[in-house]
Structure 1
Amino acid sequence: MAARKAPAEPLLVILGSTGTGKSELAVELATRFKGEIINSDAMQLYNGLPIITNKISQEERHGIQHHLLGHIPLDDAPWDVEDFKSEATKVIREIRGRGNLPILVGGTQYYVDPLLFKDVILDDVQIDPSLSFPILEQPTDVLLEELKKVDPIMAERWHPNDRRKIQRSLEIYLHTGKPASELYAEQEKRKAAVAQEPGTSQPWEKLLFWVYSERDVLTARLDSRVDKMLGAGLLDEVQELFDMKRNKAAEGQILNMTKGIWQSIGYKQFEPYMAAREEGKDEADLEKIKSNALEEMKAATRRYANYQTRWIRLKQIPRLKEQGPEAFGSLYLVDSTDVSKFKANVIEPAAEITSKFLAGESRPVPTELSELAREVLTRVSEPPPKDIPCKRTCEICQTVCVTEQAWQRHIKSAGHKRVMKKKKRLALVPVDKTPDNHSDSEASSDPDVTSIFAT
């Protein structure tokens, strides 16, 4: 790869799903290259609850300064993308002012993207914090109906349960007086214009490491980590949140359980156990509820890891490719599958590449770093087919799909086929039309008969 100039404003970004070793790599690179770490994990922004939020311990930080970690009170509203970008940009500027290297690490990828790519969140849209729009606090279905009036294009694009996107589109309209769909169209025109004008783009001065573990190994590792969290005092933290919720309710506060710290993996799963324990359920029932909660937490953790990997593959890599070969060539996959070889497979190659990056020296081609890097980066470099917007509702399953691809996945899914099979089976059950001695109320109370008539 051709040599580059030493970056004037370097930024290291460490990506990857939970449990792959991002924090360990960040600390090691910060130690070697005078770095300071900026947290980009939404749950780790909150102060306290180190087990539920998986915060790196003081011992594991090895004296490295960590920013935006334990930064806001537990009862604060979650930061939106603009809040994070503004604060992180300020911190990055301060780190560079001290002559140190900013290293961004964390699992909330939609926090990371605005620091990498221009126009991801419509940077030219100014949100005036002095303006208050009570409509934005209404239930999601109310927001969607309002959005349909002012921006039907965006309303059609979003899933009816996707409150964050619906609210954001409506917020843009309320603050600017222009539909978000119109602003996004203007954004695409700007991107196309820049692409046609050589020499107008800013130099790419970012280096990205994707810490990657193969799925089967990572699944076992995550399950084991959840077991360790339970042994380390997870339930004490769940109890703390449970008490906080109860106290807020006693004060007449209505909490939004779909936002903020309440979305942390662990609390949602174990809340029923806390409620059952408070009700005085017997030990056998409690143990069963606790066991179910543990399995649900493991499943939620695995789903989250998959979601993080999908975001990198389907969102960040295409955006890197849009920036050009230099940006895409700045993404290095390091293999953390074997934890016993973490130093050899992750730390040492990352440190060598970082050294060359900071010195402006030529670096290896990312696909030549390892066999796994070649396999994964080659596979994900192919652009995924673009989703075709097409909102459809499966009346049988009561499921809404917003793209043709999602619709095809749904109708081919095991769940849909199971419901269809049940419906056909019920349709074949003969209905006895001869008079009998059953009253209408008796017939309607029969679950089998009710299900037949319901279909």
Structure 2
Amino acid sequence: MKSSLSIIYKNCGNKFDSLSLIKPAAFRKHRMEYAATAINRRHRRRDKIVVIMGATGSGKSRLSIDLASRFPAEIINSDKIQVYRGLDITTNKIRFHDRLGVPHHLLGEFDSSLGEFTPSQYRYHASSAIQQIAGRRKLPLVVGGSNSFIYALLADRFNPDVELFNGSDPVCTELRYRCCFLWVDVSLPVLNEYLIKRVDQMLDSGMLDELAQYYESEINESEINTGLRKAIGVPEFRRYFRMFPGRMKDTHGGVGEDDQVRRVVYEEAVRAIKDNTCQLANRQMEKILRLKGEGWDLQKLDASAAFSAALEGESADGWSGIWERQVVEPSVKIVERFLE
């Protein structure tokens, strides 16, 4: 299957080395726009790409690996926080061993201390990555929950000065690539329950210690709303680490007044993370529905049953079987038809 499918990809000509590209802080706006236009001209034949969309926690990364194991593919991250280096647990980056050797691009590559990584910069870097992947006769899989990044990459008429999802500007339906959109959907009540449990799992996996190290290394507090500082978990725990600096792992023990206060502040931070994560999922869902409602051909894959089974304690084989039948197998058929 891989060899027959991969022959549809032609060499794209000149390639860009993503590791040698100009760092975000050094970008000039006119250079980025010129470069993006140049790349767009080279893509007039419009390479085929698969775009996996969905709210946070809906299984996009898992599906991307499932597809990459069946097609000759490489993955391009489209999560605006996961592009930054660091806080791997807090930002929920896919673990290295879970990538199964599949190449990932724009995942943890940029230093957030150099400034905000903008949609225009994402358009430039992701376009370059697509060109490289297609040049290797592989299928580019664009995967992530940041719909503003996805729109910036794909819209033929993209205005970097307009925030599409904060206004009433029309959605551009003319796209720069031939796209197969896979939308992994989970009903909000089920997804919210899963997200709440996922926060607890992240904390059990070392998220608090990771944040403690981050706050220990932070010097400049002035740029609160840029880069990794916007990652859910960082602002919520700010008060906690200001009051109790250091790696305070034991948040449930102790009987003294300081221990009780620390426990209360900790629990407030955890509740805020859970609430903000669920709110993020809801906002992402609204953006996806807008894109679909204005003409983007999103193929919906309902993963609610698989998530419900996992939440109810069904065995890994049980809920994985549901995921395979209801999400992976339909996705493979959609991609096969798209490539043919």
Tell me the distance in 2 between the aligned counterparts of 1:61 and 1:224.
23
Task: Please tell me the residue identity of whatever aligns with 2:95.
Answer: S
RMSD between aligned residues: 2.8
Query: Helix, strand or coil: the match of 2:180?
Result: strand
Q: Is the 8 A contact 2:64 2:141 kept in 1?
A: yes
Tell me the distance in 1 between the aligned counterparts of 2:180 and 2:188.
24
Show the 5 A alignment for 1:413-452. none
Tell me the distance in 2 between the aligned counterparts of 1:203 and 1:283.
56
- Find the counterpart in structure 2 of residue 103 from structure 1: 141
Check if 1:226 corresponds to 2:199: yes
Check if 1:349 corresponds to 2:330: yes
Unaligned runs of 5+ residues in structure 2 are 1-7, 10-45, 249-256, 307-318
Q: Is the 8 A contact 1:238 1:271 kept in 2?
A: no
- Find the counterpart in structure 2 of residue 84 from structure 1: 122
Deviation at 1:115, TM superposition (A): 2.3
Task: Please tell me the residue identity of whatever aligns with 1:355.
Answer: E
- Find the counterpart in structure 2 of residue 63 from structure 1: 101
Deviation at 1:239, TM superposition (A): 1.1
Tell me the distance in 1 between the aligned counterparts of 2:158 and 2:79.
18
Check if 1:299 corresponds to 2:310: no
Show the 5 A alignment for 1:4-15. 9-15=47-53
Deviations 1:153-208 (A, max 9, x none): x9xx99xxx9xx9xxxxxxxxxxxxxxxxxx8xx99xx8xxx9xxxxx78962100
- Find the counterpart in structure 2 of residue 205 from structure 1: 178
- Find the counterpart in structure 1 of residue 292 from structure 2: 317
- Find the counterpart in structure 2 of residue 277 from structure 1: 244
Deviation at 1:317, TM superposition (A): 1.6
Check if 1:54 corresponds to 2:30: no
Query: Helix, strand or coil: the match of 1:291?
Result: helix
Tell me the distance in 1 between the aligned counterparts of 2:176 and 2:237.
48
Task: Please tell me the residue identity of whatever aligns with 1:287.
Answer: R
Deviations 1:112-164 (A, max 9, x none): 01222211326xx9xxxxxxxxxxxxxxxxxxxxxxxxxxxx9xx99xxx9xx
Question: Which of structures 1 and 2 has the larger relative contact order (alpha carbons within 8 angstroms, sep 6+)?
Answer: 2
Q: Is the 8 A contact 2:81 2:228 kept in 1?
A: yes
Tell me the distance in 2 between the aligned counterparts of 1:40 and 1:337.
23
Q: Is the 8 A contact 2:122 2:152 kept in 1?
A: no
TM-score of the superposed pair, with normalisation by structure 2: 0.74
Task: Please tell me the residue identity of whatever aligns with 1:291.
Answer: E
Tell me the distance in 2 between the aligned counterparts of 1:213 and 1:203.
28
Tell me the distance in 2 between the aligned counterparts of 1:101 and 1:333.
20
- Find the counterpart in structure 2 of residue 334 from structure 1: 301
Task: Please tell me the residue identity of whatever aligns with 1:345.
Answer: Q
Task: Please tell me the residue identity of whatever aligns with 2:268.
Answer: N
Tell me the distance in 2 between the aligned counterparts of 1:306 and 1:218.
10
Q: Is the 8 A contact 1:15 1:107 kept in 2?
A: yes
Tell me the distance in 1 between the aligned counterparts of 2:149 and 2:188.
24
Q: Is the 8 A contact 1:42 1:78 kept in 2?
A: no
Show the 5 A alignment for 1:239-254. 239-245=212-218, 248-249=219-220
Task: Please tell me the residue identity of whatever aligns with 1:342.
Answer: W
Q: 1:23 aligns with which of 36, 61, 86?
A: 61
Deviation at 1:46, TM superposition (A): 1.1
Deviations 1:234-263 (A, max 9, x none): 111211221222xx24xxxx6310111101
Task: Please tell me the residue identity of whatever aligns with 1:357.
Answer: F
Tell me the distance in 2 between the aligned counterparts of 1:276 and 1:203.
50
- Find the counterpart in structure 2 of residue 173 from structure 1: none
Runs of 4+ residues over 4 Å off in structure 1: 201-204
Tell me the distance in 2 between the aligned counterparts of 1:305 and 1:261.
19
Deviation at 1:22, TM superposition (A): 0.2
**Structure exhibiting the larger radius of gyration computed from Cα positions:** 1
Task: Please tell me the residue identity of whatever aligns with 1:351.
Answer: V
- Find the counterpart in structure 1 of residue 158 from structure 2: 120
Task: Please tell me the residue identity of whatever aligns with 2:331.
Answer: A
Deviation at 1:48, TM superposition (A): 2.0
Q: Is the 8 A contact 2:122 2:153 kept in 1?
A: no
Matched length: 272
Query: Helix, strand or coil: the match of 2:304?
Result: coil
Tell me the distance in 2 between the aligned counterparts of 1:34 and 1:42.
25
Deviation at 1:31, TM superposition (A): 1.6
Give the direction of change, closer, same or farther, for the CA distance of 1:57–1:202 in structure 2 (3 Å limit): closer
Q: Is the 8 A contact 1:47 1:72 kept in 2?
A: yes
Tell me the distance in 1 between the aligned counterparts of 2:301 and 2:289.
15
The structure whose residues are more often helix, as a share, is: 1
Tell me the distance in 2 between the aligned counterparts of 1:358 and 1:284.
59
Query: Helix, strand or coil: the match of 1:103?
Result: strand
- Find the counterpart in structure 2 of residue 370 from structure 1: none
